[in-house]
Structure 1
Amino acid sequence: MNSRQGLFEAALVAPPPAPAPGFRDITFHEQRARTLLNKIPGARPGGMAWTLNPYRGCTHACTYCFARDGHTRLGFDTGEGFNTQVVVKTNAAEVLRRELRGGKTGDDWVMVGTSTDCYQRAEGHYRLMPGILRTLADHRVNFTTTTKSALLRRDLGLFAEAARVANVLVMTSLGSLDERVWRAFEPGAAPPRARLATIAALRAAGVPAGVLVAPVIPHAGDRPAALDALVDACAEAGAVTVYPDIMRISPGARDWFLNQSAVHLPPHLHQRLAASYADSRAMPASYVREVTAHLHARAAHHGLPRWEDCIRGVGRRTSDSENPRLRNR
């Protein structure tokens, strides 16, 4: 994360607003952002080149979340503070419209919600995404977003409108169908079956939708039969691609992750996770290759392309003659 992001973009509005109904233990820090789009260093032209994050902190409370590291830069702790101290960029759509007015992103893709889920519970109260989606569609910007929330279905019509004028790919993050895994590691996110229903709803609305098979949690969600069942369910829901990602634990998340696993997991599982991530943030390369290859093979069985090929295919399907973004220039 560069120094222009987060609270370095603008001062917090004080005092924080009163919690909305149903948010008794969560504090919202409302912020008037000066910038919203962040360029990814070294991004290739026409690729995934920009990020956009209307929220920081996340009520999904996923114990492994890499974004916990960045919460210290905002003055909050990476444990319960990440789950309950949520920064809200209340003027997100206004700033985005100003930044896009001059064609800032060109034909590059914008990744919406790379730090924390833009459809976390706070979005139900602040409703930032409709304005963001309308702005992206108005400027015919290529974009992708990833979510674990069923709230995204509220905006199906807006995603469909955007997909008619630009390249759009919505990814649902789902690492296991096992509800025990969901409750232990992602307590505030939507249940697995609700995420599959979101994929199906997006596809029925004509919006390309895939699955970030993430994270695959070693020892808890990595049995071959379970992985096969997960890919099968994604294909049945209409996913256009799957992207495997094996769990990594960032330094800022490690202590919280292991503390929560000790509290909520069977002792033998906690001990295996603690041993696996004691001296490294990732599993051995051989393990990552094996699990990734297994998931790719199962996806290929269903005719699903890899994520990179899917992105290229989306661009090819929208040719110069068919793309309103190019035809109207």
Structure 2
Amino acid sequence: MRWSGQELGVEQVDTLPGLARLNNLVRSVQTPDFAGVTFHEVLAKSALNKVPGQSAMPFGWTINPYRGCSHACVYCFARPTHTYLDLDAGDDFDRQIIVKVNVADVLRTELAKPAWRHEPVALGTNTDPYQRAEGRYSLMPGIIDALTTSGTPFSILTKGTLLRRDLPQLADAATRVPVDLAMSIAVYDHDLQQSVEPGTPSTKARLATVAAVRDAGLDCAIFLMPILPYLTDTRAHLDEALRQAKAAGATSVLYTALHLRGGVKPWFMQWLEREHPELVPKYRSMYYGTNAYAPKAYRRWLGERIRPLIRAHGLERGREDPVTGGVRSAAPPTRLPTRLPDALGLPPDPSALF
């Protein structure tokens, strides 16, 4: 798509169906550096997303500078969010990336409002803020600065090694506000990792990033999430994963079993049928019908297997909160009144990302 002729406030007749309805689309960009990927640059109306009050998440707000993710993890629970724009949860999620180019400026405005109470904010709970697109758009330095300057504690969960670029800024931020960092590293078999997470940095590269975080004087947890039944749940794999995590300097490890919500399950099962057809009957039995969670008996078995290993490697983290994508902030989590989104001028529905 040509960059010219994409005016704000009008329907974009030559773009994808869902995006055509947006009146905040600036332009759609393709570049040889990102073969097969299209970036749709939009002007965000809000940066902060309110977590529903009934949620078990240990934070009240999130920020998602991108929508869609070129990491292309076949198990990613955020895939269904792309259907809001009439994009599919499969290839489109991996290749049609929404970029909120003004997110840092919008965030500064929201954080400056008197109603803002400096509740912990989490990044990386939906799509990865350090996916490859961040190398092009550099949105995170502005976001980190806005949060730090406003005195807002924050946490970052990522698979992206580009986190290393911002370590000096994050180390400075940690002297002014509570900052929690975590690296998501679920698979320690190279071939399997490249198959199930084809767009991510290698496990080795992510472990090196954990070491770099520690060298910068910051703690870094590892999210061993998700654990894949019959693929990464053997005692040998878990023990080796924890050994490598400890060697990299990880301060703790959190885990949870694979979660397959609607919209993710078909995409994951296509991959499983192609790569591990012998496991399809077992997965259909575990994740039957609309069931998104591994059976309680399996989760109990997994806990009994991995918890002693976590203790043995010295990677416990007090009271665990193994929620996929959730990072516990060093600041005490508090809940805001339900009317606060209106006071901040924000949409009450966290799915209203634009």
TM-score bracket for this pair, using the shorter chain length: 0.7 to 0.9
- How far has the Cα of 1:103 moved from its partner? 5.6
1:38 partner SS: strand
Scaled by the length of structure 2, the TM-score of the pair is 0.80
Comparing 271-280 and 221-230, the one that deviates more: 271-280
Counterpart pick for 1:276 among 286, 289, 295: 286
2:315 partner SS: coil
State whether residues 54 and 113 of structure 1, in contact with CA within 8 Å, keep that contact through their aligned partners in structure 2.
no
- How far has the Cα of 1:152 moved from its partner? 1.1
Which blocks of at least 5 consecutive residues in structure 1 are unaligned?
Answer: 1-5, 317-329
- How far has the Cα of 1:275 moved from its partner? 3.9
> Residues 89-147 of structure 1: CA distance to partner in whole angstroms, max 9, x if unpaired?
00011011111113655342101121100111111111111111111121222111111
Q: Which residue of 2 aligns with 1:150?
A: 161
Q: Percent identity?
A: 38
Comparing 299-308 and 187-196, the one that deviates more: 299-308
- How far has the Cα of 1:57 moved from its partner? 0.4
> Residues 268-311 of structure 1: CA distance to partner in whole angstroms, max 9, x if unpaired?
13443344324332211121122134333222223333364698
Matched, 1:62 2:67: no
CA distance in 2, matches of 1:293, 1:164: 38
Greater relative contact order: 1 or 2 (C-alpha under 8 angstroms, separation 6 or more)? 2
Which blocks of at least 5 consecutive residues in structure 2 are unaligned?
Answer: 1-17, 322-326, 333-354
State whether residues 69 and 127 of structure 2, in contact with CA within 8 Å, keep that contact through their aligned partners in structure 1.
yes
Alignment of 1:203-214 (within 5 A): 203-214=214-225
Aligned length: 308
1:235 partner SS: helix
State whether residues 181 and 221 of structure 1, in contact with CA within 8 Å, keep that contact through their aligned partners in structure 2.
no
CA distance in 2, matches of 1:129, 1:227: 32
Q: Which residue of 1 aligns with 2:62?
A: 51
1:108 partner SS: coil
CA distance in 2, matches of 1:273, 1:309: 26
Q: Which residue of 2 aligns with 1:160?
A: 171
State whether residues 103 and 143 of structure 2, in contact with CA within 8 Å, keep that contact through their aligned partners in structure 1.
yes
State whether residues 180 and 328 of structure 2, in contact with CA within 8 Å, keep that contact through their aligned partners in structure 1.
no
Change (3 A) 1:103 1:288: farther
Scaled by the length of structure 1, the TM-score of the pair is 0.86
AA in 2 matched with 1:13: L
CA distance in 2, matches of 1:63, 1:47: 26
Higher helix content, 1 or 2: 1
Alignment of 1:4-23 (within 5 A): 11-17=23-29, 19-23=30-34
Measured on the aligned residues, the alpha-carbon RMSD in Å equals 2.6
Q: Which residue of 1 aligns with 2:117?
A: 106
Matched, 1:34 2:45: yes
